[in-house]
Structure 1
């Protein structure tokens, strides 16, 4: 009986072992490329491509905290090492280009890093790209408007820009200009839009002027009317013609001048020498190249190139986001990363829309910035704090180096509070003369339960190493992960990154 029982038990164990191995083999054969591990956290938890795409990564740290050269460099290195990666890199400092070149060289992908700058051969006609990919006047108008948000300065906005009325009127002017230029010429460019708007009749009397009738504005209106062939085109063209021949010349002078100032301010930046050369000529590169595994690094940091650099970076960021959301991607396709250092300079209302939807299109954002107040300042408006927090709330992983008190408070609130038991006690005089004489006071104990922050704010303000020789190139950071906790049971952990 015993040998028979042992034989049966051995057979059961062998069958369990066989089926277990079979399940593992089937599971591994079905594993997705998105489950590839980029690196592991100190707890041993893997950070996979799927984790990256599921909300992206926000890295925050004050100037000199080491965010770019430590955690940023590690994350960027591991992403580039994956051959299925492609994307856009917007650098914050001129010296960052050398860092990225070294990363791509180490990964053996030198030829897949394309540099976009005035010193290189690559050019990208932004508005023609949007038109050729989509053809909708609204898409082109939205592109110009959102880039205007990113500029966030007097070049893109009039003095009354915070009033929705003026923003709506500027949007209408752009829309109807794009509609006419697109129908009449078959293409759209900033110089063409500027010339068309400049030639518009300013008063009803101008409409009867023979010189105006033979001018470029009137000729384009006529050409657009003749080119409209479908019912939809005829309807949209009629709306635009009514605006330029009816509404616009009859606007109050102050209203027209305010609307015109905002629109022309933005188009003027588009038509500045370098920007015009880079974004309005013949294209030999586009966001579609990223879907083939190419990386485009825009070497025009706003700190060096000013508003021109800001516009070029904003143009590439929006065009990439727009293209990612339009594509249908499978797990085996190239995943797209938009990497923005000093991201607070280039935020727009489109970012929250993008990060909420990009995962299913194999896209994500990696944003590096100094502080939460930096986002507040660049969003502007009465709702700037809500807009900034709404954007950052979508990032699943947040890496915090040494930060300011406002950012520390925000980060601590992300983790909430937990209930803890607090113990206490007190001593009082003894019960009689004998107790007082021999030092035996009366002791009382107590305890209470209260909610305290899971992470104290001072942890993020003081005590985190910031790299350099004095710290053996070590940079400390707190990593917060929304949703699923790490294997230690917490949604945060302390990490050390090296500036190697």
Structure 2
């Protein structure tokens, strides 16, 4: 029997409910899973404590809550720091290390071909992935002139990439950077070459055409094959030498970064770890710190970040609601204009908690070149929580003050005036006048100079001060979207 006045038990809350608390903000407010999924940007000068206190507090709370994640590395010590955090939060068994000395491998273009969903195998998605590789090398370069010419070469390169991907897939059923390279450099360069038995015997492109033609095909596949064959045997072979050389050079230079040494071994062979492993709680640490591996480390980590973003955008949170995170300390080194802000605009719906940390806005602007202003402020506009620790960069301090905003403030003033006494008078009148007033003005609620005075941690107290801003929130201490906050360096 159900008693009508019996109190109903509270509903069982999902472990990763968006309102679930992660950590306390000064003992008054809480930072929740939902807050995390709106993204965090941490700013602070070198030695400000942004990594040892702020980032450490945030990531440790994510680990304790069972998030999966991708951890990118910049400094040689990052692996040890992140490993320690995993050990101290009971997540060491979930940690997997992707490095030249491990057995883990990830072929991003073949993984894109074989993924298990409705969009699997679409050549246009693979073309977009390869284009992102181009952005790695051009991320901090100017646009230059000749936009119409640039647009033509971009379209032509996409056409070559698209047809190469489709031919290789039809012929072999798999994709790799070395095979794409072999296919393009062995493509016919003239109509006379098409009649050459020597070329036919040595050309990997011709062998792929023969194999693709031999395999049984559906009507749609037959149409696609005819388009690919016409491209290589007619259109490509009849291009002028100058045009073809530019197109081929653009294509091979795009693949070049993935076709050598360490990167070819890590990203160009097989796949036994995928970004989707984070949905099962795995913590994927990319142990190619940029300060050690340079451009190679940067390229690998940007590709991993991009593929991780794509995988999370495709997830169905109704089947698996586990939040995941992306950690990038020194985030300006792996920022890519276009893809990062595009992903961040919908990151909350995929329950992806982005944590970026860098010294200043100036770092972002320098890294992204003439694309910087629009790309940086677009990205920051989609990172709802921003933490500012001790800072000496004027642009960042001014940005923080502008972000927090101005309020109506009243300034009091007083003025005393006295008449000059006449010393020839027996009893001079030296009575003065006092005037007071109040003026109304709109001033920064937090002045830019404040950020230079924040505590940086270290002995004896190991306390790091900051200003936290979160759009749309009213913090207990200030009643507005910002609050002073203190993080500890001791755990």
Q: Aligned pair in 2 of structure 1 residues 412, 109: CA closer, same or farther (>3 Å)?
A: same
Task: Please state how far the C-alpha of 1:158 moved relative to its aligned partner.
Answer: 12
Which residue is 2:474 aligned to?
485
2:69 counterpart SS class: strand
Q: Is the 8 A contact 1:151 1:307 kept in 2?
A: no
- Structure 2 matches for 1:51-450, cutoff 5 A? 51-53=35-37, 55-83=38-66, 85-133=67-115, 134-152=120-138, 163-214=150-201, 215-227=203-215, 229-330=217-318, 333-348=321-336, 349-380=338-369, 382-403=370-391, 404-430=393-419, 437=428, 439-450=430-441
Q: Following the alignment from structure 1 to structure 2, what is the Cα–Cα distance between the partners of residues 75 and 358? A: 17
Task: Please state how far the C-alpha of 1:432 moved relative to its aligned partner.
Answer: 9.9
Task: Please state how far the C-alpha of 1:75 moved relative to its aligned partner.
Answer: 0.8
Q: Is the 8 A contact 1:183 1:228 kept in 2?
A: no
Which residue is 1:45 aligned to?
29
Unaligned runs of 5+ in 2: none
- So what's the TM-score if we normalise by structure 1? 0.86
Q: Aligned pair in 2 of structure 1 residues 76, 154: CA closer, same or farther (>3 Å)?
A: closer
Q: Is the 8 A contact 2:16 2:322 kept in 1?
A: no
Q: Aligned pair in 2 of structure 1 residues 260, 29: CA closer, same or farther (>3 Å)?
A: closer
Unaligned runs of 5+ in 1: 1-17
1:265 counterpart SS class: helix
Q: Aligned pair in 2 of structure 1 residues 432, 354: CA closer, same or farther (>3 Å)?
A: same
Q: Aligned pair in 2 of structure 1 residues 430, 128: CA closer, same or farther (>3 Å)?
A: same
Q: Following the alignment from structure 1 to structure 2, what is the Cα–Cα distance between the partners of residues 164 and 44? A: 54
How many residue pairs get aligned? The number is 474
2:273 counterpart SS class: coil
Q: Aligned pair in 2 of structure 1 residues 466, 432: CA closer, same or farther (>3 Å)?
A: closer
Q: Following the alignment from structure 1 to structure 2, what is the Cα–Cα distance between the partners of residues 236 and 449? A: 71
Task: Please state how far the C-alpha of 1:30 moved relative to its aligned partner.
Answer: 8.0
Q: Alpha carbon RMSD of aligned pairs, Å?
A: 3.0
Q: Following the alignment from structure 2 to structure 1, what is the Cα–Cα distance between the partners of residues 466 and 181? A: 48
Task: Please state how far the C-alpha of 1:47 moved relative to its aligned partner.
Answer: 0.4
Q: Is the 8 A contact 2:454 2:465 kept in 1?
A: yes
Higher mean alpha-carbon deviation, 299-308 vs 212-221, is at 212-221
Q: Is the 8 A contact 1:180 1:221 kept in 2?
A: yes
Task: Please state how far the C-alpha of 1:145 moved relative to its aligned partner.
Answer: 1.3
Q: Aligned pair in 2 of structure 1 residues 354, 81: CA closer, same or farther (>3 Å)?
A: same
Q: Following the alignment from structure 1 to structure 2, what is the Cα–Cα distance between the partners of residues 423 and 228? A: 87
Q: Following the alignment from structure 1 to structure 2, what is the Cα–Cα distance between the partners of residues 422 and 293? A: 55
Q: Aligned pair in 2 of structure 1 residues 452, 252: CA closer, same or farther (>3 Å)?
A: farther
Q: Following the alignment from structure 1 to structure 2, what is the Cα–Cα distance between the partners of residues 262 and 65? A: 43
Q: Aligned pair in 2 of structure 1 residues 153, 323: CA closer, same or farther (>3 Å)?
A: closer
1:51 counterpart SS class: helix
Task: Please state how far the C-alpha of 1:27 moved relative to its aligned partner.
Answer: 5.8
Which residue is 1:497 aligned to?
487
Task: Please state how far the C-alpha of 1:191 moved relative to its aligned partner.
Answer: 0.6
Q: Aligned pair in 2 of structure 1 residues 197, 228: CA closer, same or farther (>3 Å)?
A: farther
Task: Please state how far the C-alpha of 1:232 moved relative to its aligned partner.
Answer: 3.8
Q: Is the 8 A contact 1:59 1:400 kept in 2?
A: yes
Structure 1 segments, 4+ long, off by >6 Å, are: 157-162, 431-434
Q: Following the alignment from structure 1 to structure 2, what is the Cα–Cα distance between the partners of residues 231 and 257? A: 34
Q: Following the alignment from structure 2 to structure 1, what is the Cα–Cα distance between the partners of residues 191 and 135? A: 33
Q: Following the alignment from structure 2 to structure 1, what is the Cα–Cα distance between the partners of residues 417 and 83? A: 71
Q: Following the alignment from structure 1 to structure 2, what is the Cα–Cα distance between the partners of residues 247 and 416? A: 59
Task: Please state how far the C-alpha of 1:217 moved relative to its aligned partner.
Answer: 1.1
Q: Aligned pair in 2 of structure 1 residues 26, 246: CA closer, same or farther (>3 Å)?
A: same
Q: Following the alignment from structure 2 to structure 1, what is the Cα–Cα distance between the partners of residues 52 and 190? A: 58
Q: Aligned pair in 2 of structure 1 residues 159, 295: CA closer, same or farther (>3 Å)?
A: farther
- So what's the TM-score if we normalise by structure 2? 0.88
1:351 counterpart SS class: helix
Q: Aligned pair in 2 of structure 1 residues 458, 123: CA closer, same or farther (>3 Å)?
A: same
Q: Is the 8 A contact 2:139 2:367 kept in 1?
A: no
Which residue is 1:9 aligned to?
none
Q: Is the 8 A contact 1:123 1:279 kept in 2?
A: yes
Task: Please state how far the C-alpha of 1:109 moved relative to its aligned partner.
Answer: 1.8
Q: Is the 8 A contact 2:16 2:33 kept in 1?
A: no
Which residue is 1:454 aligned to?
445
Which structure has greater helix proportion? 1
1:169 counterpart SS class: helix
Task: Please state how far the C-alpha of 1:252 moved relative to its aligned partner.
Answer: 4.2
